[in-house]
Amino acid sequence: MTYVEPLARQVRQDGTMPSADAVQERRLRDLAGLFADRDAEARLLAHDPLVYRVFEAAALPKEDGHLLFSTTVIESGRVGDEYFMTKGHFHARADRAELYYGLGGRGMLLLQTPEGRYEALDMVAGTAAYVPPYWGHRTVNTGEEPFVFLAAYPADAGYDYGTIARDGFAALVVASPDGPRLIANPAYRPTPSDDAR
């Protein structure tokens, strides 16, 4: 048995990974409280639509220096004016970077520092996007088709979902007559870091 062949996974054009080691399905109830328009969220919860799936190549070596990779397929849809999006996270080991590669559809990568500085990048098929160390990240489907991308990240990066669940994300992407618009999130409240307390 070769070493490298078992580490490969097939990624279909639509982002699905039939040989994924794990598949996460995130429905609206899994994102409860993350969308700005709570009334729209409550109305949609009756149907609890599928928002996104993550196909993970996770059964890879975990020792220092290895990478994991996954595909994310975000459905097209909105909660009020806000587009379907991922929960968003910092890495548990916050200094771990990541690379995204657009496979299909249209979306935005939102990035924020722990202090709340934010940036956004449009992504389409073929966009390679860099998530620098220490930047929290969330992806948003701004198109009419599923937004699909591949992510590669250090095996020890881990997930900190708590910070964004508690503080919110510094920026929102909302639909407007001129198309997707990036706005500062009025409800965003960064928790001071230990150093600043």
**Residue 110: both structure tokens together:** 């939102």
Among 37, 87, 101, 120, binds ligand S6P (CB under 6 A): 87
Q: Residue 70 or residue 141: which is nearer to Zn ion going by CB?
A: 70
Least Cβ distance, residue 196 to ligand S6P (angstroms): 25
Kindly state whether residue 88 participates in binding ligand S6P, applying the rule CB under 6 A.
yes
Q: What angle do CA 157, 9, 76 make, to 5 degrees?
A: 75
Which does residue 86 bind out of ligand S6P, Zn ion, none, counting CB within 5 to 8 angstroms by kind? ligand S6P
88 binds, among Zn ion, ligand S6P, none (CB under 5 to 8 A by kind): ligand S6P
Site mask for Zn ion (CB under 5 A), range 83-112, x = bound: ---------------x--------------
- Residues numbered 101 to 130 that lie near ligand S6P (CB under 6 A) are none
Q: Among 9, 53, 89, 106, indicate the residue that binds ligand S6P (CB under 6 A).
A: 89
Residue 7 structure tokens: 């580490």
Q: Is 53 in the site for ligand S6P (CB under 6 A)?
A: no
Question: Which of 86/141 has CB closer to ligand S6P?
Answer: 86
DSSP the chain: --SSGGG-----TTS--TT-SEEEEEEGGGGTT-SS-HHHHHHHHTT--EEEEEEEE-SS--STT-EEEEEEEEPS-EETTEEPB---BB-SSTT--EEEEEEESEEEEEEE-TT--EEEEEEETT-EEEE-TT-EEEEEE-SSS-EEEEEEEETT---B-HHHHHH--SEEEEEETTEEEEEE-TT--PPPPTTT-
Instruction: Decide whether 9 or 89 has the Cβ nearer to Zn ion.
Output: 89
Site residues (vs ligand S6P, CB under 6 A): 54, 70, 72, 86-89, 98, 137, 139, 151, 153, 157, 159
